[in-house]
Structure 1
Amino acid sequence: MKIENRFLKYVSFPTQSDPYSTTSPSTANQKEFAQFLVEEMRILGLVDVQMSEYGVVYGRIPANNHQQGDVIGLIAHMDTSPDASGENIHPQIIRHYDGSDIPLKEDRLLTPRDFPDLLKVVGHDIVTTDGTTLLGGDDKAGIAIIMSMAEYMFKHPEFLHNDIMIAFTPDEEVGRGTEHFDFNIFQADYAYTIDGGEINHFHFENFNAYQVLVEITGKSIHPGSAKDKMVNSQEVAMTFHSMLPSGQKPQYTDGYEGFHHLVHMQGQCEKTHLEYIVRNHDYLKLKQQLNDFSRIQAYLNSFYGYEAIHISVHEQYLNMKDIIKDHPHIVEQVEIAMEDVGLHPEITPIRGGTDGARLSFAGLPCPNLGTGGFYCHGPYEFVSITMMKKGVELLLRLIRNNVYAHEDIPF
């Protein structure tokens, strides 16, 4: 099957995750997609294929070289972001993209002026949305790359390799992708997530990530008799937010700069809830950001004369660099494989996180490889089919180099 047809089939499954669900997976339709992948994996000759009760899919491509080399794992996630609709996706393929503006529905325009990464895919075959939904390349492009690699191995038994472990996780977009990951099933020496970004980009640094929940309790009094008595929690919330450093909002930061981001706000006069995510590659700087929340809390509670503001802080994931630095060979072999297939490797930090961050701290070193996806989580998302094909080639080279160094792969 062509990788583009595989990808288009995958994005037809609506698999948005739900950050407020208490089930695992957070949405039932993720299991429908998972079951489809289970059946496809079995057709392609994988063994020990199963879907756990929590919707995690596992499988193994059995070794054909008498177990020479490391057992490498490959991981991608099945869910799409709740930030934009993932229902009724209508992708459009543009052949040999020429660098011009791409009209979308709802008077949207995908243009190199506003989205300069389009200039990186001139001459490529690309897939875009129609402007009404996200595309789902994050991370169904990663799944398509892994499964196309598996299909190549199935059709080419002469391609020598060690055991390859494969897993597809639900709920990565809501920070729960590894919540029920079974290391007794997924017995790899190390792994790579295949999840977003340019195909020559390699990531083993990600944000340290925390969630901050702010609960503000006001004093609701009838407005006709509220003088010197009412405390409107919504106004306190606006004051609280305005006191955070404005330059640390995500729209003003880049590279290694951290940020705080107000992702949800809901309230009335009596009670208001704010939900923030706080991110920084530098753990000490992140702690300073968290201290800003505590400092503002103390000041406003003192100003109002009672415990108006309550804050709870929750760790979400940490920077995998602290783990990967002790396993330099899993970085070096990616750089070699990229050069072998004609890519110029670029090691860049992730301004976010992947399942690999949690997996690394759980004992499975797991950096990230790109997929050729851009501007995910919204209607301007697009994926390069050309880069996806190169991603298959890269995985095959990485696996082949694990057995024999620098041999040509017969494509």
Structure 2
Amino acid sequence: MTGASADRVQINRERLLKRFLSYVQVGTSADPCSDRYPSSAGQWDLGKLLLAELRALTIEDACQDEHALVWGTVPASNGEQGPTVALVAHLDTSPEAPGENVQPQVIQSYPGGDITLPSGNVIDVASCPALQSMLGMTLVTTDGTTLLGGDDKAGVAIIMELVATLVENPHLVHGPVKVLFTCDEEIGRGTDKIDLEKLNATVAYTLDGGGAAVIDEETFSADAAIVRFEGHNIHPSIAKDRMVNAVRAAADFVAQLPRETCSPETTHEREGFIHPYTIEGGVGSATVELILRSFETEDLKTYAGQLQETADAVVQAMPGLKANVKIVRQYRNLRDGLGDLPEAVTLAIQAFENLGVEYKSESIRGGTDGSQLTEKGLPTPNLSSGQHNIHAVTEFACLDEMTAAVEHLVELMALWSQYRS
């Protein structure tokens, strides 16, 4: 199967950079404490900006729906009848570091070595060895006081530049291309408002991966756990043999969980973990919140069993204490659903090969919106978008990698236009 590589187009790097810089300056931090959707007003604002740009590109069905999601369709090129491909990126940024008043810094022709940001924070080569392969490239950082927001505004900019490229170059072959910009991915709500019937795609790709030329075709399977301890509070002066301290119970529970193994700080590669990340409460009641992660879905049942056994042991050691363990399903390994349409991966690989680009297939120690979309029946691998050091004030993006991602999408859309089930 051949693609568009014979009809290569020059991607407009400067326009791509301009897009990206404008997007990251719109604050869109997700708010995990909000019960609104989206959780922050900035996501509406960025969506409105994208909607205006899509309409300026003559995308006739472009719209921002009642949930702030932005939709649009690039019609198939003349004579093409291929399946509909959806491209997805999220508007929100992580709440784990400041995301407002972003001051992007552009480094033209990176000379190598550590990068000292205006704040004094340093992006050092030792902790980010990928910098060694970026000599002469254009990098975008912040001033070191905020996130950049490349996760996932790099993906947003790549998709928007692809739309512009397809519209401006009608000789490029492609089937219908749907674009979808979602909200609140960073707080686990990214697919909550996606109408798959409205999307009506055969395959989708999230543009939410790090680095360049990587296909993420496997993710963790994930559950959350909420363990609640009910004690008995009474004035400390008369507490002997009467107080049941739920705070101590929660502390004992966490202390008995695996620490040297099966914890995020002691695992890597394909190892799963149990991660307690919040303890809240008082003497009368205390809650421990945890996440459970493994590439093997069956392991989640084992982890849940460990939590129950540990909670039971704490209860047994503290008369009068009660405990409840609640498991909440989150998402499942991307791999489990991609087998229904293996071309979702094989055509992405072929697009890299047609371009003469060395690629890597990776497993993510995390999840993407694609994990949930795939589980719902829409195969959705994750592709690179040139982002690095995500969720940190040392975050940066590489324009050269973003440009290459647009080129890859052009080729991938051409390959899908020839696909017949």
Say yes or no: TM over 0.5.
yes
Q: Indicate which of 59, 70, 73 corresponds to 2:86.
A: 73
For the pair 1:231 / 2:236, whether they are aligned, the reply is: no
For the pair 1:256 / 2:247, whether they are aligned, the reply is: no
Q: Indicate which of 338, 351, 354 corresponds to 1:340.
A: 354
Q: TM-score, normalised by structure 2?
A: 0.92
Q: Which amino acid aligns with 1:214?
A: V
Q: TM-score, normalised by structure 1?
A: 0.94
- Distance in 1 (CA, whole Å) between partners of 2:253 and 2:198 is 47
- Distance in 2 (CA, whole Å) between partners of 1:403 and 1:308 is 59
1:332-391 Cα shifts (integer Å, max 9, x gaps): 111111122232121100111111111111111111111111121111211111100000
1:273-326 Cα shifts (integer Å, max 9, x gaps): 222111111112222112111111111112112343222110111112111022
1:235-270 Cα shifts (integer Å, max 9, x gaps): 221211111111222122211111222232222222
Q: Residue 314 of structure 1 aligns to a residue in which SS?
A: strand
Contiguous gaps of at least 5 residues in structure 1: 406-411
Q: Residue 62 of structure 2 aligns to a residue in which SS?
A: strand
1:48-70 Cα shifts (integer Å, max 9, x gaps): 11111111111000112233222
- Distance in 2 (CA, whole Å) between partners of 1:307 and 1:236 is 8
- Distance in 1 (CA, whole Å) between partners of 2:206 and 2:25 is 22
> What residue in structure 1 maps to residue 196 of structure 2?
183
> What residue in structure 1 maps to residue 394 of structure 2?
380
- Distance in 2 (CA, whole Å) between partners of 1:74 and 1:13 is 21
- The structural deviation recorded for 1:230 is 2.5
For the pair 1:31 / 2:44, whether they are aligned, the reply is: yes
Q: Which amino acid aligns with 1:384?
A: C
- The structural deviation recorded for 1:44 is 1.2
For the pair 1:315 / 2:323, whether they are aligned, the reply is: no
1:27-66 equivalences under 5 Å are 27-66=40-79
Asked whether the equivalents of residues 258 and 286 of structure 1 are also in contact (C-alpha less than 8 Å), the reply is: no
Asked whether the equivalents of residues 91 and 182 of structure 2 are also in contact (C-alpha less than 8 Å), the reply is: yes
Q: Indicate which of 207, 210, 215 corresponds to 1:194.
A: 207
Asked whether the equivalents of residues 150 and 397 of structure 2 are also in contact (C-alpha less than 8 Å), the reply is: yes
Q: Residue 99 of structure 1 aligns to a residue in which SS?
A: coil
> What residue in structure 1 maps to residue 26 of structure 2?
13
- The structural deviation recorded for 1:106 is 4.7
- Distance in 1 (CA, whole Å) between partners of 2:280 and 2:136 is 46
Q: Which amino acid aligns with 1:187?
A: N
Asked whether the equivalents of residues 323 and 360 of structure 1 are also in contact (C-alpha less than 8 Å), the reply is: yes
Q: Indicate which of 390, 405, 409 corresponds to 1:395.
A: 409
Q: Indicate which of 355, 358, 366 corresponds to 1:352.
A: 366
Asked whether the equivalents of residues 101 and 111 of structure 1 are also in contact (C-alpha less than 8 Å), the reply is: yes
- Distance in 2 (CA, whole Å) between partners of 1:334 and 1:91 is 31
RMSD of Structure 2 on Structure 1 (CA): 1.6
1:71-125 Cα shifts (integer Å, max 9, x gaps): 1111111111111111111121112223311113554221011222322323321
Q: Which amino acid aligns with 1:33?
A: L
- Distance in 2 (CA, whole Å) between partners of 1:368 and 1:8 is 23
> What residue in structure 2 maps to residue 295 of structure 1?
309
Q: Indicate which of 367, 372, 395 corresponds to 2:381.
A: 367
> What residue in structure 1 maps to residue 179 of structure 2?
166
- Distance in 2 (CA, whole Å) between partners of 1:307 and 1:228 is 13
For the pair 1:146 / 2:159, whether they are aligned, the reply is: yes
For the pair 1:244 / 2:257, whether they are aligned, the reply is: yes
> What residue in structure 2 maps to residue 281 of structure 1?
295
- Distance in 1 (CA, whole Å) between partners of 2:60 and 2:269 is 41
Q: Which amino acid aligns with 2:56?
A: I
> What residue in structure 1 maps to residue 106 of structure 2?
93
Q: Residue 180 of structure 1 aligns to a residue in which SS?
A: coil
Asked whether the equivalents of residues 196 and 374 of structure 1 are also in contact (C-alpha less than 8 Å), the reply is: no
1:202-246 Cα shifts (integer Å, max 9, x gaps): 012111111111222232222223233323322221211111111
Comparing 217-226 with 191-200, which one deviates more in the overlay? Answer: 217-226
For the pair 1:211 / 2:224, whether they are aligned, the reply is: yes
Comparing 227-236 with 35-44, which one deviates more in the overlay? Answer: 227-236
Comparing 298-307 with 48-57, which one deviates more in the overlay? Answer: 298-307
> What residue in structure 2 maps to residue 272 of structure 1?
286
- In the TM superposition, structure 1's runs of 4+ consecutive aligned residues that sit over 6 Å from their partners are none
Q: Which amino acid aligns with 1:194?
A: L
